[in-house]
Amino acid sequence: MILQIFVQIAGRICEVNRMIKLKPCPFCGGEAEMGIKYGDYGYNPDIYSVKCKRCNARIGKVSDNYADLSDDVGKAWNRRVNDD
Ligand SMILES: [Zn+2]
């Protein structure tokens, strides 16, 4: 049981490690990092966010169904006004 939970968590961490390369912050040019705040099944959702390490500008997406949104939030962070 405990091992099963560990494998589940490890699997989710591995998914995060293949995250897309983040562009620098559009406001200050600082380095961005992705963070995941895991909820608890049935009560609080997972929250995927990207934030600038320098100025703390941040975007976030809420995963109500516990789907992995790391790609989603990474693409949202990387989107710029002149992108298609
Ligand atoms: Zn910034």
20 inside domain: yes
Instruction: Report the separation in Å between the CA atom of 24 and the middle of ligand 1, taken as the mean of its atom positions.
Output: 8
Domain of residue 65 covers 2-78
Mean per-residue pLDDT over the chain, rounded: 85
21 inside domain: yes
Instruction: Report the separation in Å between the CA atom of 5 and the middle of ligand 1, taken as the mean of its atom positions.
Output: 36
Instruction: Report the separation in Å between the CA atom of 26 and the middle of ligand 1, taken as the mean of its atom positions.
Output: 7
DSSP per position, 35-77: EEE--BTTTB-EEEEEEETTT--EEEEEETT----HHHHHHHH
Instruction: Report the separation in Å between the CA atom of 32 and the middle of ligand 1, taken as the mean of its atom positions.
Output: 8
84 inside domain: no
Contact predicate 55/25, CB 8 Å? yes
Q: For 25-65, write each residue's pLDDT tens digit.
A: 999 999 999 999 999 888 899 999 999 999 999 999 999 88
60 inside domain: yes
Closest CA to 25 of 48, 3, 51: 51
The count of domains in the chain is 1
What are the C-alpha distances in Å from 69 to residues 28, 35, 54, 59? 25, 11, 23, 12
13 inside domain: yes
Q: For 72-81, write each residue's pLDDT tens digit.
A: 999 999 999 9
83 inside domain: no
pLDDT at res. 83: 81
27 inside domain: yes
Neighbouring residues of the ion ligand 1, judged by CB less than 5 Å = 25, 27-28, 30, 52, 54-55, 57
Identify which has the larger pLDDT, 18 or 40: 40
Model pTM?
0.73
